C-alpha cells in the first residue's frame, strides 16, 4: 500500500489548486500508477500559519512500482510537469505530492526516522534529508495530512509509532484541525 498526501495553494496551467490536484492524479495514472482510493478534497489553513493562501489537501492510496524511490521519482516528475519549482520549504506551491508510507517499510532505518521525527518544526530550518525517510516523519503531527488519510486508510498502522491513522488523528489537539473543511 502506497500512501501519498496531495496539496496545492497556487494555480497552475491546469487551473486552480483543486484542478491541479485532479491533474496530478491523472498524471500518476498515465505513468502506470493506479489510484486505488482517494479522499475528498479539504480546504486547510496554510502551514506554517501565515505562510500563504489556504491549501486544498487530499490523500490517495496507490499501487505502482515496487521500489519507494521509483514512486518518489514519479511524484517529483508530476510536480515538475505541473509547474512546481522548489524554493522556500513549507511555502506556497502549485503542487505538492508527498510520499507518506510504502506499506510497513521503515527507511532508511527506525533510528534515522525517529531522529527526524524528534526535530518537530525545527525540521523546516534544515535542508531536506538526502535519503528517503519513510514513513513521512511529520505525518503524525499534521491534521491536514491525517484528516484526508483517515478517509481512505484509517486502519493503516504506523510501523514505528504503532498507532493507526485514526488513532494519530484522534491524538492531535482540537486546534490542529481548526479551519479544516471538506470541499
- Positions marked catalytic: 84, 93, 96, 98
**Cα–Cα distance for residue pair 133/63, rounded to 1 Å:** 19
Q: CB of 57 within 8 A of CB of 149?
A: no
Distance (Å) of CA 159 to CA 132, 135, 153, 166: 16, 8, 14, 14
Interstrand relation of 34-38 and 96-102 (parallel, antiparallel or unpaired):
unpaired
Phi, psi of 170 (to 5 degrees): -65, -30
**Cα–Cα distance for residue pair 31/8, rounded to 1 Å:** 21
Q: Which of 139, 138, 100 has its CA nearest to residue 119? A: 138
Pull the grid cell for residue 142.
499534521
**Cα–Cα distance for residue pair 45/55, rounded to 1 Å:** 6
Amino acid at each position: 500500500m502506497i500512501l501519498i498526501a496531495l496539496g496545492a495553494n497556487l494555480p497552475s496551467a491546469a487551473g486552480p489548486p483543486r484542478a491541479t490536484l485532479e491533474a496530478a492524479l491523472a498524471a500518476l495514472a498515465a505513468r502506470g500508477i493506479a489510484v486505488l482510493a482517494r479522499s475528498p478534497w479539504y480546504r486547510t489553513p496554510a502551514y506554517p500559519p501565515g505562510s500563504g493562501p489556504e491549501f486544498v489537501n487530499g490523500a490517495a492510496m496507490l499501487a505502482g512500482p515496487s521500489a519507494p524511490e521509483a514512486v518518489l521519482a514519479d511524484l517529483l516528475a508530476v510536480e515538475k510537469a505541473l509547474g512546481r519549482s522548489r524554493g522556500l520549504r513549507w511555502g506556497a506551491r502549485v503542487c505538492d505530492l508527498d510520499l507518506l508510507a510504502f506499506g510497513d517499510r521503515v527507511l532508511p532505518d527506525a533510528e534515522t526516522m525517529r531522529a527526524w521525527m524528534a526535530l518537530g518544526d525545527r525540521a523546516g530550518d534544515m535542508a531536506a534529508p538526502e535519503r528517503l525517510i519513510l514513513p513521512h516523519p511529520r505525518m503524525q503531527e499534521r491534521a491536514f495530512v491525517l484528516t484526508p488519510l483517515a478517509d481512505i486508510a484509517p486502519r493503516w498502522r504506523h510501523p514505528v509509532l504503532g498507532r493507526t491513522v485514526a488513532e494519530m488523528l484522534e491524538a492531535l489537539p482540537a486546534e490542529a484541525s481548526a479551519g479544516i473543511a471538506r470541499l
